[in-house]
Amino acid sequence: MEVEFITSSPDLKGRPDLILPEFAFIGRSNCGKSSLINHFLNRTKMAHTSRKPGKTRLLNYFMVDRKFYLVDLPGYGFAKVSKKTRAAWMTLFRKYLMVGDRPMALFQLLDARHQPTSEDLEVSGWIRESGHPFALAVTKMDKVGTNARSQRYQDIIEALGVPRDTPFFPTSAVQKTGREEMLGWVEALLAANAE
């Protein structure tokens, strides 16, 4: 996999001029988003990980195999920032979702250890409202016992109220699981977009 960091931008004006399909990763600030992105890209330090959640504050664009962009969006919910800054991130995310000028799909990331929060529900609603294809990527599955996983899947889907056929990817950056399944979904959408 060839990966190139392209740009970071605080707004939509700074997006790359070259139009390619975009696959955006969005999730709570402490859900393991950077670790999953690094796992997805098969890199160790492409996306910055930190012990302090909320480090991603820009739209970060990575070009993958010259076929699509992976877009790392600011996390929401947990970061210790002002209400004004947090509101600005959510506004940016909504604008990003609704601009509709290039092919797009999204991975909403959720921590397997916790029930979806009110902000997770709100973001899920915005994603569905946008009409873009989306999938759920549940992180940190290594923290959940094998016998409890099936129930956790059901609990998350029911809490979000998403259709039962929504693509659902259990992942663990520690155990290196879920990557191939996520890539398969991306490749299927790219193939459909090319037709």
Contacts of 178 (CB under 8 A, 6+ apart): 36, 39, 137, 141, 169, 170, 171, 172
Q: Any idea which residue has 């302090």 for tokens? A: 52
CATH code of the domain in which 107 resides: 3.40.50.300
pLDDT of residue 58: 85
Read off the pLDDT of each residue in 118-132 and give the average, rounded to a whole number.
Answer: 93
No. of helices (H) and no. of strands (E), the chain: 5, 7
Assigned token pair, 63: 């070009």
pLDDT of residue 164: 86
pLDDT digits (tens, 9 = 90+) for 59-87: 999 999 999 999 999 888 755 667 787 77
Length of the chain: 195
pLDDT digits (tens, 9 = 90+) for 134-181: 999 999 999 888 888 888 888 999 999 999 899 999 999 999 999 999
**pLDDT tier at 24, thresholds 50, 70, 90:** very high
Higher pLDDT, 15 or 79: 15
Ranking 105-109, 140-144, 188-192 by mean pLDDT, the lowest is 140-144
For 101, the domain range is: 3-194
User: The whole model's pTM is what?
Assistant: 0.90
pLDDT digits (tens, 9 = 90+) for 29-60: 888 898 999 999 998 876 654 444 444 578 99
Read off the pLDDT of each residue in 2-15 and give the average, rounded to a whole number.
Answer: 93
Work out whether strand 134-139 and strand 104-111 pair parallel, antiparallel, or are unpaired: parallel
pLDDT of residue 145: 85
Residue 108's φ and ψ, nearest 5 degrees, are -95, 125
pLDDT of residue 80: 65
The total domain count for the chain is 1
Cα–Cα distance, 105 to 127 (Å, whole number): 9
Contact 158, 66 (CB under 8 A): no
pLDDT of residue 75: 83
